[in-house]
Structures are given as structure tokens and as C-alpha cells.
């Protein structure tokens, strides 16, 4: 059978298991919802449900290929507190409210971490401080604090590690300038709980015997350290022809995250929810993001994401002057704290709601790219490559940036594959997206920006 690896990809909305061969071909894929459980002491991730599903799905994959490695990839701002036997406490959902902790008194300065002050638990340091205060006995029994990808690696192979891409994504735990822990870790007494640092591509060990038995995978199957999902999307570009120069990668899904290579960390502004991520090579990358997938669903409706609009629908919404103004998600973004609203005539049907949602995402993405100073080729990764209008509208607004759609619909699997096969050459980044030809687009952008920045203006009758 072909040599292959399994990518465990845990996004905020869905969990995916992908079987990929050494040449980069997808052999099989399975998905399940990433359910947040509301029982227990607080909202938490269904780690046992994911684990049981993971074992069963790996057994089906084991019959299809010679799986030699597993790579965990997960969303950020999440950690597990463990002892030698497993979880001490459930894995806290970062959208859970965390009342009662005076975190601002210990939180590092933005200048140190390039990690903006975010709501709920989006700063992982706030989660850890809340857990330490709320559950002191359990926290005292903790032997390791594991970032979420490394929790799954530890559960698979038994080796504990820390890793910079997950430590460096708006956690307050990492200093991206020095590529070391921030002062918060020592201040809170957490340094002894942090396992040794390892590279995302490091093979930590082989499967625990009981995991190999339960899955049918080889006992020699290696488990890689793993990586933060948005940084997985960047891996294929780190050694590209544009490395070291201006380039932009837009990771799309529940979060829309723009990563701008070549932008100085000094240009970042906390109040605009700009941040520095750390890439797989241990380098800081200027980023800006908002919860685009969540906002799209709020505008388009829960069952209408797949009911695409037409160009005529887009033009009708623009010509009528219907605007969606931020924000339609409570977590982060440059306009966090504002209540989203629609001004102008309401959309008339599902296709017009889809059109308005698409226009909103394009305009907010374009705003973020301008604020970030993004330049160079613009590669779109992830789920919104399935939206034929998103890239075309963005290309129409940004003629100086060549826009392309990646061929990796998850935005992460190619990066995870490259961690295992670093000398391989990935498939082409995808197809260039021609700009949309629409006379209303530039005027509509100006109307939207005027409304967002200055309040809605009265249209002439």
C-alpha cells in the first residue's frame, strides 16, 4: 500500500480527518461537528467524542494505506491541563464567559506580546488565570499545560511538548520579538508546567500500544508535534519565490485571518485587533482577523450558505444601497463591540442575503488588508474558496494584488503534509481569480466605508 499520513484538523466549527499519500493526493476524508458541551463546570470541548471518532476513523484509513505519521492541527486559544493519566479539567471553550478574574492586573503589555486584549477567552492567558483562580485544587495537580495540537499528540504518543505557533497566536504567553515565553508565564508560576519546545514537524514518538491496537495502525506510526491551523496555511508559502518579500495569505473559515509577509511589527495597532502570529519557522508574521464565517452565517441565514447568488443579485444589492455594517459576531475584529445592522432596503430572498453576506465579507476583508498594509500576491485559502464571487470581488477592489484561490479547500492539509514531507513540492497554489467587472463596486465600497467610519449618510432621492 502507499505511504500516507493522517491529518487531524480540529477547526472551531468542524473536525476533519484526512488521509493523504506521500505525493500529496487526498485518499479519504471524514468530518464531524466540533461540538461544545454545556454540561460540567463550564462550556468545554467534546474531547472524548472526538477521540472515539478519531480511533474509529483511523481504523478505516488503516485499511486503505500504510499510515506512517499523524499530524495534529487545531484552532488556537485552547489548552489542556493534564496529569500523567489525562485531563485534570475539561478543555475550556474560548467563547465561554470568564467572569471574576482580574486578568488586566497581570496581563503583559501589547508591546511585549503583539497580542491584543480580546473578549471572553480568546487570550489563552485569561483562560489559564481564570482556571487557576476558580479551580485551585485541580490546577495545583496539573503536571503539564499543553497547547491543543500538542494535547492530541500527547494523547496519541505519550510525549509532551510545547510549540511556538500555538503559543504565539494571541495567547499573551509568547514574546514574538524574542521568540520566547512572555513575562506572564513566570509571573503566574506556569513555567514549570510548560513542556520542552519542539518544532511543528518534530516526530515526538510513535503511537501508544493501545492506540495502535485500537486503530489498526502500525506501532511504528510516528506522531508529529503539530501546528496551529492558520499557521499550517502559511507553510506552503514560507519557502516560495516570494519568501522574504511582500506577500499576503488569507485563511478563511470560521475566522478570516490575513497574514502579511513583509509588514513590520511596529505597524500593528492593538485597538484594531492586529496581532503577530509566529510561523512554523519561528518568525513573527503581522496579522489581522475577524470572525468571518460566523458573520456570514448570521447574514446569509443558517441553511443558505450553499445557495449561491448570481452577479445580478450582487448588482441589485449594491445598486439599492443595502449595507451590512459590522459586527455580526462578538469575538474580535477591527470593530469589536459594535452591534451589526443592515441599513437600506432589506434583502428580498435567500440569494440576496447570500449576496449581502458576500459583499460584507469582501468589504471587511479589503478594509483589514488596507489597515494592515498588505501587499504582494494574495492567496486565499480555506472554505471561502468555494464562493465564486468572494475572490473575484476582492480582486476587483485590489488590482495591485494578484488574487488566487488555493486548491486546498481546508487551508491546512497541505501545510500539515509539508511538515511530514518538507522536500516535496506542493501542487500549484491554485488558479488566478479574474477581477469582477462591475461598475457599482468601487462606489459601493466608498458608501460602505463612509457608513462604517463616519456613520451612514443620506442617499439622494
pLDDT score of 244? 57
pLDDT higher than threshold 70 for residue 243 = no
Rounded Cα gap, residues 28 and 140, in angstroms = 42
Helix (H, G, I), strand (E, B) or coil at 66: strand
| Reported confidence tier of residue 110, pLDDT bands at 50, 70, 90 | very high
pLDDT score of 460? 35
Give the ranges where 252-349 is alpha helix by DSSP (H).
292-300, 311-320
pLDDT higher than threshold 70 for residue 242 = no
Whether 271 and 222 share a structural domain:
no
Rounded Cα gap, residues 18 and 379, in angstroms = 22
Task: Please say which residue of 213, 228, 243 terminates a domain.
Answer: 228
| Tens digits of residue pLDDT in 281-314 | 999 999 999 999 999 999 998 654 557 899 999 9
| Tens digits of residue pLDDT in 390-402 | 999 999 999 999 9
pLDDT score of 303? 52
Q: What is the domain range of residue 60?
A: 3-228
| Domain CATH number, residue 317 | 3.30.420.40
Task: Please say which residue of 228, 255, 277 terminates a domain.
Answer: 228
Residues in the chain: 461
| Reported confidence tier of residue 427, pLDDT bands at 50, 70, 90 | low
Task: Please say which residue of 193, 228, 263 terminates a domain.
Answer: 228
Rounded Cα gap, residues 343 and 318, in angstroms = 12
Rounded Cα gap, residues 451 and 445, in angstroms = 10
Give the ranges where 206-335 is alpha helix by DSSP (H).
209-215, 229-232, 292-300, 311-320
Mean pLDDT of 13-24: 94
Strand ranges, E, within 234-386: 247-252, 256-261, 274-278, 284-290, 323-325, 341-343, 378-382
CA atoms within 13 A on the CB side of 421: 18
Mean pLDDT of 140-164: 98
Whether 141 and 111 share a structural domain:
yes
Picking from 47, 37, 48, 40, the residue whose alpha carbon sits closest to that of residue 74 is 47
Which residues on adjacent β-strands are paired with residue 275? Answer: 287
Rounded Cα gap, residues 87 and 139, in angstroms = 11
- CA torsion angle 232 236 240 242 (round to 10): -50
Rounded Cα gap, residues 273 and 169, in angstroms = 12
Whether 205 and 339 share a structural domain:
no
pLDDT score of 306? 54
pLDDT higher than threshold 60 for residue 457 = no
Whether 210 and 289 share a structural domain:
no
Which secondary structure element, helix H or strand E, spans residue 358, and what is its range?
Answer: helix 350-372
Mean pLDDT of 7-19: 96
Whether 148 and 16 share a structural domain:
yes
Q: Is the pTM of this model over 0.95?
A: no
Q: Are 216 and 62 in contact (CB under 8 A)?
A: yes
pLDDT higher than threshold 90 for residue 411 = no
Whether 122 and 48 share a structural domain:
yes
Mean pLDDT of 121-140: 97
Q: Is the dihedral angle over the CA atoms 448, 451, 456, 461 positive or is it negative?
A: negative
* Residue whose grid cell is 522574504: 244
pLDDT score of 461? 32
Distance from the Cα of residue 85 to its chain's centroid: 29
Whether 75 and 7 share a structural domain:
yes
Whether 23 and 149 share a structural domain:
yes
Average confidence score pLDDT of the chain? 92
**pLDDT higher at 135 or 336:** 135
Q: Are 305 and 293 in contact (CB under 8 A)?
A: no
Picking from 213, 230, 173, 231, the residue whose alpha carbon sits closest to that of residue 197 is 173
Residue 414 lies in a domain: no
Whether 34 and 96 share a structural domain:
yes
pLDDT score of 78? 98
Return the percentage of the chain with pLDDT > 70, whole number.
95
pLDDT score of 302? 63
Residue 418 lies in a domain: no
| Domain count across the chain | 2
Give the ranges where 27-120 is alpha helix by DSSP (H).
47-62, 110-113
**pLDDT higher at 185 or 439:** 185
pLDDT score of 458? 45
Mean pLDDT of 108-132: 96
Whether 262 and 144 share a structural domain:
no
Whether 448 and 372 share a structural domain:
yes
- For 36, which DSSP code? E
Non-local (6+) Cβ contacts of 362 within 8 A are 389, 390, 393, 394, 397
Whether 399 and 340 share a structural domain:
yes
pLDDT higher than threshold 50 for residue 167 = yes
Amino acid at each position: 500500500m502507499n505511504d500516507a499520513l493522517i491529518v487531524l484538523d480540529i477547526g472551531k466549527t468542524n473536525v476533519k480527518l484526512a488521509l493523504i499519500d506521500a505525493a500529496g493526493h487526498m485518499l479519504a476524508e471524514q468530518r464531524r461537528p466540533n461540538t461544545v458541551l454545556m454540561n460540567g463546570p463550564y462550556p468545554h470541548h467534546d474531547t472524548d467524542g472526538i477521540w472515539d471518532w478519531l480511533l474509529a476513523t483511523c481504523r478505516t484509513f488503516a485499511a486503505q494505506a500504510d499510515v506512517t505519521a499523524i499530524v495534529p492541527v487545531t484552532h488556537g486559544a485552547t489548552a489542556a491541563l493534564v496529569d500523567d493519566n489525562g485531563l485534570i479539567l475539561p478543555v475550556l471553550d474560548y467563547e465561554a464567559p470568564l467572569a471574576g478574574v482580574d486578568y488586566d492586573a497581570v496581563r503583559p503589555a501589547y508591546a511585549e506580546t503583539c497580542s491584543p486584549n480580546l473578549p471572553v477567552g480568546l487570550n489563552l492567558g485569561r483562560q489559564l488565570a481564570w482556571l487557576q483562580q476558580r479551580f485551585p485544587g485541580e490546577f495545583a495537580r496539573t503536571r503539564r499545560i499543553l497547547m491543543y495540537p500538542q494535547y492530541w499528540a500527547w494523547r496519541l504518543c505519550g510525549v509532551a511538548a510545547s510549540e511556538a505557533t500555538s503559543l504565539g497566536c494571541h495567547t499573551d504567553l509568547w514574546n514574538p520579538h524574542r521568540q520566547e515565553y512572555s513575562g506572564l508565564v513566570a509571573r503566574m508560576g506556569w513555567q514549570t508546567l510548560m513542556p520542552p519546545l519542539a518544532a511543528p514537524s518534530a516526530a515526538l514518538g510513535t503511537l501508544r500500544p493501545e492506540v495502535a491496537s485500537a486503530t489498526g495502525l502500525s506501532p511504528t506510526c510516528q506522531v508529529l508535534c503539530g501546528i496551529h491551523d492558520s499557521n499550517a496555511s502559511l507553510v506552503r508559502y514560507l519557502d516560495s519565490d516570494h519568501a522574504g518579500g511582500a506577500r499576503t495569505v488569507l485563511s478563511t473559515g470560521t475566522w478570516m485571518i490575513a497574514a502579511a509577509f513583509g509588514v513590520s511589527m511596529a505597524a500593528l495597532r492593538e485597538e484594531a485587533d492586529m496581532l503577530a502570529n509566529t510561523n512554523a519557522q519561528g518568525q513573527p508574521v503581522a496579522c489581522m482577523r475577524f470572525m468571518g464565517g460566523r458573520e456570514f452565517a448570521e447574514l446569509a441565514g443558517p441553511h443558505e450558505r450553499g445557495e449561491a447568488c448570481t452577479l445580478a443579485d450582487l448588482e441589485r444589492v449594491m445598486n439599492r444601497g443595502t449595507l451590512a455594517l459590522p459586527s455580526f459576531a462578538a469575538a474580535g475584529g477591527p470593530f469589536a463591540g459594535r452591534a451589526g445592522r443592515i441599513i437600506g432596503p432589506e434583502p428580498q430572498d435567500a440569494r440576496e442575503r447570500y449576496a449581502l453576506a458576500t459583499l460584507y465579507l469582501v468589504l471587511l476583508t479589503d478594509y483589514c488588508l488596507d489597515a494592515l498594509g498588505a501587499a504582494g500576491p494574495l492567496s486565499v485559502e480555506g472554505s471561502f474558496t468555494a464562493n465564486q464571487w468572494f475572490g473575484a470581488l476582492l480582486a476587483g477592489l485590489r488590482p495591485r494584488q494578484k488574487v488566487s484561490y488555493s486548491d486546498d479547500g481546508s487551508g491546512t492539509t497541505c501545510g500539515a503534509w509539508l511538515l511530514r514531507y518538507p522536500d516535496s513540492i506542493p501542487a500549484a497554489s491554485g488558479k488566478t481569480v479574474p477581477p469582477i467587472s462591475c461598475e457599482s463596486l468601487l462606489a459601493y465600497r466608498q458608501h460602505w466605508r463612509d457608513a462604517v467610519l463616519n456613520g451612514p449618510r443620506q442617499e439622494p432621492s
